[in-house]
Amino acid sequence: MASNTKLCAGCLNKITNKDFVTCSLCKDIYDTVCANISHQRLMLLEKDKKEKWICPGCRNKERKGGNSNTPIQSRTGPRDCGDSSQEISTPNNDYITQRKKPQLLSNQKVSSPTQPGDESLMLTIRSEIKSSMGKFLNQAIEESSIKMDLRTIKEELSSLKDIKSGLEFLSAEYDRMKKELKTSEEHIKSLSAENSNLHTKVNDLSNRLVLLEQYSRETNIEVNGVPENLNYYIREEKIQSQLPILLKLNLLKENTPHILYRSTVI
């Protein structure tokens, strides 16, 4: 055996890790499977207990006390440590009772939940559960955040709808006022044109009135020096009767329909 290579005395396989124990009596080395010790238990063993550990072969020797000095397995070649159904071969079968390797190793290997393979499986399951829970929590947080964002967006959209309604109302009012202003401007223009037309007509009528007044006064007779102390009616009759004589006109009374008296203040 090479100095750096360690072989299990039970299964004769190479031991590549530190999971092994050494018998305190025969100094043989056994891996955890052949020694029927789990990895966790091996890690928890104290140093003095490891140093006092006795392999199954030495335990059998102590119990029998006879010449049944049989090894765990003949060293004819390496085999699987789980194959515990083969009989132990000895040099002298006439004097040594043949025994089978205890079935406890294989049974515990199958049923023990603390074997290295089971521990790896449990660690893998735990890792998967943690990963799944982490993903689930992250997804739940993201969904909650998305819901909050959606709620905020809905509120903002509602506010925008209110603002839009207000802007539409203001726009409608602006259009209405603009239309009314345009109508008012057109009405003002129409009134301005009508006013200008009326102003022109008034000027024309004023001119015509002046002409008519001038024309009507062409036949007027102005008499001065009429006494003011006479009665109005007597004075009017005297004027109508004496005026044609003074003017030497054939002026009839019906041709002088109106006599206007105007007092003169000196």
pLDDT value of position 233? 55
CA dihedral 212, 215, 220, 222 (to 10 degrees): 90
The per-residue pLDDT for 172 is: 92
Domain ranges within the chain, ordered by starting residue: 20-112, 223-266
Q: What are the tens digits of pLDDT across the range 78-125?
A: 444 444 433 333 344 444 444 544 444 444 444 444 455 577 788 888
**What band does 187 get if pLDDT is binned at 50, 70 and 90?**
very high
Q: In the predicted model, is pLDDT for residue 222 greater than 50?
A: yes
Residue 65 has a pLDDT of 47
In this prediction, residue 44 carries a pLDDT of 78
Q: Provide the pLDDT confidence category of residue 176 given band limits of 50, 70 and 90.
A: very high
Residue of higher predicted confidence among 28 and 47: 28
pLDDT of 201 reads 94
| 253, containing H or E segment | none
pLDDT digits (tens, 9 = 90+) for 237-266: 666 677 677 666 666 666 665 666 566 554
Spatial contact of 201 and 193, defined as CB atoms under 8 Å apart: no
Going by C-alpha positions, the residue among 241, 243, 210, 205 that lies closest to residue 224 is 243
Cα Rg for the chain, rounded, in angstroms?
72
- Average pLDDT of the residues in 6-30: 82
Residue 105 is predicted with a pLDDT of 43
Six token digits for residue 26: 């025969």
Q: Of 4, 35, 29, 13, whose CA–CA distance to 116 is shortest?
A: 35
Average pLDDT over residues 143-157: 85
